[in-house]
Structure 1
């Protein structure tokens, strides 16, 4: 195999084929290495991702050292540690790797006609190529390599105003045998067009609110779908694109393929006869299904024809069931997504707009068995997924870097990458949800409560627990903590008064030392009355610094109650006798 074949094999085929052949501790580092090269050789790179890769590749190689012998680790294995740093300095890999050079050398090698003088043959062929290139750049009305349309010609940009009419799509090919398009199919497709036209969202919302006022909740969706087309037609003006859309499709035509945004799609009936694959379709979730991605295969290309030669290109697809709440629909193993092609859904609503589709490839999943396909997302030639620049993005510049880190931009970028990493974001979301469930939030940080109690004890505090509660929980705006602390402070003189009763009457209350656990008792009583007592020995407001005394077991309480009742019964019997 050539170097490019090994490149594809490493990133695409090896992760799929080894999962059922090798032990788990061997498969995992190989999958991580494959993912490392996939991210490193992407067409667009982010600096934060490169910092993360620089950290991950070290851990991957450490896992390899636990599996393979020392002779496996040559200089070529060590060079992977430096690849992320090289990408940070030189940019995306595909602008400087050797594959284009090797391809050019292969073309020059083919031009050798005299093996005794290979240099002369190459020079002669190159002079001819340069001459033809020069002439081709200046010839007009002649098709050359510089003016011929692209291989997957989608018709170019259209002049229509509505987004559904302005799709860059060019259908082609006769439909397969048995393909039909009924009136009901046309209504379903047209309803999808209306719901996915950005320019009429205001009309849809207005009519839906009207239906909610006029009909009960269980009939709103059905009435909205039945009455909206005619209401929309009556609401728009004539001689307008909106009117042509509201009038509905006049007729339809079926095709077996379509070029969309420079990508060729073929229907499954035609695609299954070829050794290539162009029927896989992927649509990211939207609306209420943002967490669900849709995967399927294209069956038919539908062209809806409206008035004044307006048209909408749609894909009719066979959608696989990818609902994560249903068992046996999707499987994710080491980041590899597999779908069950024997289970389908949305059979009554299979249409999408052509420009919604992204092309994917399905591979057999040897681990899951027959009926399961691994989803492979591809990067097409001359297509780049470049995000828009955000001034607040750390990949654009170092704006926002604090003065303490000036001259240490690498540290600042590492911090940004750390706080944007998926593991940290997920952990932060979980902690945020846990904090919302709590009634009281302390502001002690990681410092234990016992340290604060020791500090208060050295200061001579009489009510340690109450003072620590005020230090940790009371903050401006926290009305609950402020009211609880105020109640505790108001109860402090009561604890001192109990001791004062045992002292001479002239003893001032300020000089009276309260009982040892007076602060703890006041705190627990106040919190139990307001928030309820927690089960067990845990005490709110004290963390792990103080614990309650364990309650007597229920069996012991029952025995004591039985003994007391027995004694009372015996006493009553004695009185009666």
Structure 2
């Protein structure tokens, strides 16, 4: 039989089950009978006279819907029963989920490790050399003694009252070598399945809470030394969770977190120090050996665990239910590549799909704006378009040449006042300019404007709030812009000693510079400063969309920008050896038996 491959090359309306069998043929080397059954099902019409669906293609497409929408086996059986009732009596569609899976079974081929982070050897880095203390009354095992990681001449080592009543000049225990690790694990008998129980303790922490919100929340409470220690602890996590880490600063981070842990020992009771607090001292070492933390943390696995839990239909047999649904989805996903008119399953769509290009409709209106606002927006676009830069320089030089005795401020003002008309006359009087430059010289025809119902905060060199979203129409292209209410940069923005940026949203400024291009905006959040309600703390958010309709969207890994470039400096030269754990900043009295 002759097949015109060129004619069918771009035809996506036909299934390609023959290609699927060719690709998986090697898997059926010793199972020729199963391959024959699949081939028969792929050629058998769904009912006599049906030319669009075969028995196999119908089952695969229905399973694609089942897997993509999370249908239970019971609901899928009910659907098959209903479709069978609609089709002719001699149709080949299976009548239950069980029968459908029997058709697909030939396509399907069907470690956990744990570590007990409890007890006296809970630290996986030190094990036998773990520094532990068992509390007398609560019997809880805690992990103190972080002074041993300091330099031997560090002032904290000679303090007594501030810690456990003793000076500490012990050396830091050395981590196990590769040979030592091998000697410990070489005799482990790995058993798959349910016969072996593994112990583990999963610490689930909210990065956003620790890195962003907690430093702000404690600004108005707690004594200054304790507050700074907590904020420094949060800054450490913000630094190690970055996508880019300077190797030269890792030693600084390590020294800083050791001091911070020692200060926590000074201010917090021993029961606070479970193994999760202690393991922080080893994070920098792991980064040196394994790279940035974001490549190895648990968040992607926890998200996927949610997917696996969604496979459970039989709660009495959850593992088998997950395996069965996973295999069915894998088989369906593989077969989907050869089916026409179906979408892949298991891959979530980008939430901005279809929104970064095209036309907006909600709240959009063509509006007449004051001429002054139109010219201000148009001039800003010209100043921020690379093709116009030579003309900007030319006009500034011309203005300065014609007015040699005027000040630079006057030259800039005159340039802004006259550039639009000069640019238009220059470009339209000749024909050797690009289409973009010519349409920019014509100026905008009208504006599409929308009040921002869900304001997004914009930040470039200014801080402010978006009040209106404009779409400037140049016929051949459109330029989105934000009209903003800015905070006075001189009197309404400051940085404190902790590295926080604070803004006073009531101090309005830059009223003559209302516009920015949408591509220049970055999102931030303003959180009221607990220590002074007049000011708001600036928290940076990650960029959600990069590029425009002509560029690819960048799926960036989440990163929370740091508050400051380095950890807070710790002044310890004049540290007084005294008890810090007792509090005197309240009037609630003490509990006495």
- Counterparts of 2:349 and 2:313 in 1: how far apart (Å)? 33
1:465-497 CA-partner distances (Å, limit 9, x unpaired): xxxxxxxxxxxxxxxxxxxxxxxxxxxxxxxxx
* Per-residue deviation, residues 418-453 of structure 1 (Å, max 9, x unmatched): xx98999xxxxxxxxxxxxxxxxxxxxxxxxxxxxx
Q: Which residue of 2 aligns with 1:21?
A: 221
**Cα distance between partner residues in 1 of 2:217 and 2:206:** 14
Deviation at 1:255, TM superposition (A): 3.4
1:169 and 1:354 in contact (8 A); partners too: no
Report what 1:186 is aligned to.
Answer: 374
Change (3 A) 1:92 1:180: farther
User: Which residue is equivalent to 2:446?
Assistant: 251
The answer as to 2:340 corresponding to 1:173 is: no
- Displacement after TM superposition at 1:147 (Å): 9.0
Deviation at 1:23, TM superposition (A): 0.6
| 2:507 equivalent to 1:340 | no
Structure number, greater radius of gyration: 1
- Separation in 2, partners of 1:423, 1:27: 12
In 1, are the aligned partners of 2:493 and 2:504 still within 8 Å (CA)? yes
Instruction: Report SS of the residue matched to 1:97.
Output: coil
> Which of 468, 485, 510 in structure 2 is aligned with 1:300?
468
Contact 2:496 2:502 in 1 (8 A): yes
Tell me whether 1:281 sits opposite 2:458 in the alignment: yes
Superimposed CA distance per residue, residues 526-546 of structure 1 (whole angstroms, 9 cap, x where no aligned partner): xxxxxxxxxxxxxxxxxxxxx
SS of the residue corresponding to residue 509 of structure 2 reads coil
Q: 1:204 to 1:27 in 2, by over 3 A?
A: same
CA gap 1:149/1:103 in 2 versus in 1, 3 angstroms: closer
Q: Secondary structure at the match of 1:249?
A: coil
Query: Secondary structure, in 3 states, of the residue corresponding to 1:212?
Result: helix
| Contact preservation (8 Å) 1:360, 1:375 | yes
Q: CA deviation at 1:306?
A: 0.9
Is 1:195 the equivalent of 2:358? Answer: no
Matched, 1:69 2:269: yes
**CA displacement, residues 284-324 of structure 1 (integer Å, 9 cap, x when unaligned):** x3xxxxxxxx11122221111114x221111111212232x
> Structure 2 CA distance, aligned partners of 1:211 and 1:359?
38
Kept in 2: contact 1:302–1:316 (CA 8 A): yes
RMSD of aligned Cα (Å): 3.2
Write the distance in 2 (CA, Å) between the matches of 1:50 and 1:58.
12
Are positions 1:89 and 2:262 aligned together? Answer: no
Separation (CA, whole Å) in 2 of partners of 1:169 and 1:348:
31
Normalising by structure 2, we get a TM-score of: 0.53
Separation in 2, partners of 1:170, 1:62: 57
Which one of the candidate residues 209, 222, 231 is aligned to 1:31? 231
**In 1, Cα distance between the equivalents of 2:277 and 2:435?**
64
Q: Which residue of 1 aligns with 2:398?
A: 210
Number of the residue aligned with 2:487? 320
CA contact (8 A) 1:361 1:378 kept: yes
CA distance in 2, matches of 1:130, 1:341: 53
The 1:141–1:194 alpha-carbon spacing in structure 2 relative to 1, beyond 3 Å, is farther
Structure with the largest fraction of helix:
1
Distance (Å, rounded) in 1 between the aligned partners of 2:342 and 2:272: 57
List alignment gaps of at least 5 residues for structure 2.
Answer: 1-201, 545-554, 560-564, 570-593
Q: Is the 8 A contact 2:367 2:447 kept in 1?
A: no
In structure 1, distance between residues paired with 2:339 and 2:370: 50
Contact 1:332/1:338, CA 8 A, preserved across alignment = yes
Query: How far off its partner does 1:175 sit?
Result: 4.8
- Please state if 1:240 is matched with 2:435: yes
Which one of the candidate residues 532, 541, 554 is aligned to 1:378? 541
- Displacement of 1:102 after TM fit? 2.0
Give ranges in structure 1 of 5+ residues lacking alignment. Answer: 157-167, 257-266, 272-277, 286-293, 387-419, 425-577
| Deviation of 1:150 (Å) | 3.0
Contact 1:359 1:377 in 2 (8 A): yes
- Higher relative contact order structure (alpha carbons within 8 Å, sequence separation ≥ 6): 2
1:221 aligns with 2:412: yes
Q: What secondary structure, in the 3-state scheme, does the structure 1 residue paired with 2:331 have?
A: helix
Offset at 1:179? 8.2
Structure 1 residue 44 corresponds to structure 2 residue 244 = yes
* Aligned residue in 2 for 1:516: none
Displacement of 1:37 in angstroms is 0.3
SS of structure 1 residue aligned to 2:267? coil
Distance 1:179 1:6, change over 3 A: farther
Given that 2:367 and 2:446 are in contact with CA atoms closer than 8 Å, whether structure 1 keeps it comes out as no
Measured in 1, the distance between the counterparts of 2:237 and 2:566 equals: 18
Distance 2:567 2:321 in 1: 56
Q: Is the 8 A contact 1:171 1:255 kept in 2?
A: no
Q: Is the contact made by 1:136 and 1:146 (CA closer than 8 Å) also made in structure 2?
A: no
Residues 362-415 of structure 1 show CA distances to partners (whole Å, capped at 9, x for unaligned) of 22222111x4322111235632599xxxxxxxxxxxxxxxxxxxxxxxxxxxxx
**Are 2:253 and 2:567, in contact at CA under 8 Å, matched by a contact in 1?**
no
Deviation string 1:249-271 (CA, Å, 9 cap, x unpaired) is 11111135xxxxxxxxxx2xx12
CA distance in 1: counterparts of 2:412 and 2:474, whole angstroms: 26
Distance 1:316 1:35 in 2: 34
Instruction: Note if contact 1:169-1:355 (Cα within 8 Å) is conserved in structure 2.
Output: no
Structure 2: how far apart are the matches of 1:99 and 1:146? 18
Worse-matched range after superposition: 105-114 or 339-348? 105-114
User: 1:45-88: per-residue Cα shift (whole Å, max 9, x none)?
Assistant: 23223333122212212222221234433432222121012112
Whole-Å Cα distance in 2 between the matches of residues 152 and 346 of structure 1?
A: 32
**C-alpha distance 44-385 of structure 1, shift in aligned 2 (>3 A):** farther
- Secondary structure of 2:422's match? helix
Maintained 8 Å contact 1:364/1:374? yes
Change (3 A) 1:350 1:132: farther
Q: TM-score, normalised by structure 1?
A: 0.54
Q: How many residues align?
A: 346
Offset, 1:140: 5.0
